[in-house]
Amino acid sequence: MSEEIQSSIGRVVRIPGNHISPKYDMNYLRQKRDQGGAREFDVVLPLTSMIDMFSMLVIFLLLNFSATGEAFFVNKNITLPSAKNATPIESLPLISITEKQVSLDSEIVGSNPVTIDLKDQEMPALRASLARLKTLIKNQEEGGIPVKKGINMQADENTDVVYIKRVMNILVSEGFGKINFVTREELSKKRPGEVTDPSSSDSI
Amino acid sequence: MGRKAVNVELNMTPFIGLFALLVVNLLLTAVWNQVTALSTNTQNSTAAAESDPPPKDQVNLTVTILQSSVEMAENSNGVKVPHIGDKVDAEGIERTLSQWREKYPKRRDVVLNTENGVSYKMLITTFDTLTGAGWYDVGVSSQ
């Protein structure tokens, strides 16, 4: 880097730099050499983009936030039909009707689902599980524990209704009249002043 | 030359810490699948011994899903709403339901029957249409 000196006669005298052409001065290397080779450890991270990313993430996740805390597992082999006017689902025993089998997820049998052959018309395994479920509900009610009544039912949208009706027949004959058909929410425009459906009464 | 420095550097570290915690918490509570349910009380629609017989002058409103159409009947008088392709004509059903609403403004109950061979999707679509039109007490027949 050349320095400028004011001479006694008023003229500016420039002391030439290390090289005739400034392009080849290599000032950075000379500076490193003069400093003794010490590295600078002060690194400034650009945080603006990181904060932008976090802001977008928080806003997106806030939109998907749910405070109900109830989990629901959709069988991977099932494509649920969509509905615009359905109500939020409750945590109840779930019957899953797939292409090959019917299963009942219930607290009675722990984490192992009860599978029933689809060709079986009477479904004794399902009847037995429903009888156990009824006994459990009765014991809980006698013990003063509030019990939610009803059954959730999920099936693939292409399932023939004959399989649905067969399971429904068994549910009704065992005393489980309140059946909730599980659906996928389809967003719709609600008309102003429209009131949603009040919950139906229990049947057990 | 005695001016105060107006350039202030905000400390972003606690801000980033807060955001990181928020993101983790919201990821754990986010709802990815919006699952809902259509509720029915089948005891009212099956031949249960405990159910009370309806009044003699009450009109039975039934919606029957057939393989090619939806039949909407007031007792024995029925209107057929043909399907559109393999889908239920929801708008056609809504038109008939609006006529029913004018005739029976206080009624909310309707029985939904299905023919064997009809898909579950048609049942749900029809059920959804009935609920959306104000017919909340839908009894799905299991016969």
Kindly state the percentage of chain B with pLDDT values over 70: 86
Q: Taking CB atoms and an 8 Å limit, are A85 and B32 in contact across chains?
A: no
Given CA atoms A40, A46, A51, A57 in this order, what sign does their dihedral have?
negative
Residues contacting B12, CB < 8 A, separation 6+:
A47, A51
Question: What residues of A are in contact with residue B18 (Cβ under 8 Å)?
Answer: none
Contact call for residues A154 and A75 (beta carbons, < 8 A): yes
Three-class DSSP category at A160:
strand
| Interface predicted TM-score (ipTM) | 0.76
Q: Taking each helix axis from N to C terminus, what angle separates A48-63 and B13-29, rounded to the nearest 10 degrees?
A: 30
Residues contacting A90, CB < 8 A, separation 6+:
A70, A148, A150, A152, A180, B37
Quote the CA–CA distance of B93 and B71 in Å, as a whole number: 9
Contact call for residues A160 and B118 (beta carbons, < 8 A): yes
Quote the CA–CA distance of A100 and B9 in Å, as a whole number: 65
Q: Which of B51, B50, B73 is nearest to B61 (CA)?
A: B73
Q: Over its length of 204 residues, how does chain A's per-residue pLDDT go in tens digits?
A: 456 777 777 778 777 667 666 677 777 777 777 766 566 667 777 888 888 999 999 998 888 776 665 556 666 778 889 998 888 888 888 888 877 778 887 443 333 456 666 566 677 788 888 888 888 888 888 888 888 778 899 888 888 888 888 888 888 888 888 899 999 887 654 444 444 444 443 333
Q: How many CB atoms lie within 10 A of CB B21?
A: 10
Residue of chain A whose alpha carbon sits nearest to that of B142: A165
Report all structural domains of chain B as residue ranges with CATH numbers, in order of start: 42-49+58-140 (3.30.420.270)
Q: Taking CB atoms and an 8 Å limit, are B31 and A64 in contact across chains?
A: yes
Quote the CA–CA distance of A43 and A35 in Å, as a whole number: 18
| Residue B93 confidence (pLDDT) | 93
Contact call for residues A136 and A108 (beta carbons, < 8 A): yes
CA distance A6 to chain B (A): 27
CA distance B63 to chain A (A): 15
Q: Taking CB atoms and an 8 Å limit, are A177 and B114 in contact across chains?
A: no
Q: What is the dihedral of CA B88, B96, B60, B38, to 10 degrees?
A: 50
Contact call for residues A183 and B46 (beta carbons, < 8 A): no
CA distance A83 to chain B (A): 6
Q: Taking CB atoms and an 8 Å limit, are B128 and A86 in contact across chains?
A: yes
pTM: 0.68
Contact call for residues A199 and A148 (beta carbons, < 8 A): no
Report all structural domains of chain A as residue ranges with CATH numbers, in order of start: 11-35 (no CATH), 82-185 (3.30.420)
Quote the CA–CA distance of A114 and B80 in Å, as a whole number: 41
Q: Which residues pair with B45 in a beta bridge?
A: none
Q: Taking CB atoms and an 8 Å limit, are A162 and B117 in contact across chains?
A: yes
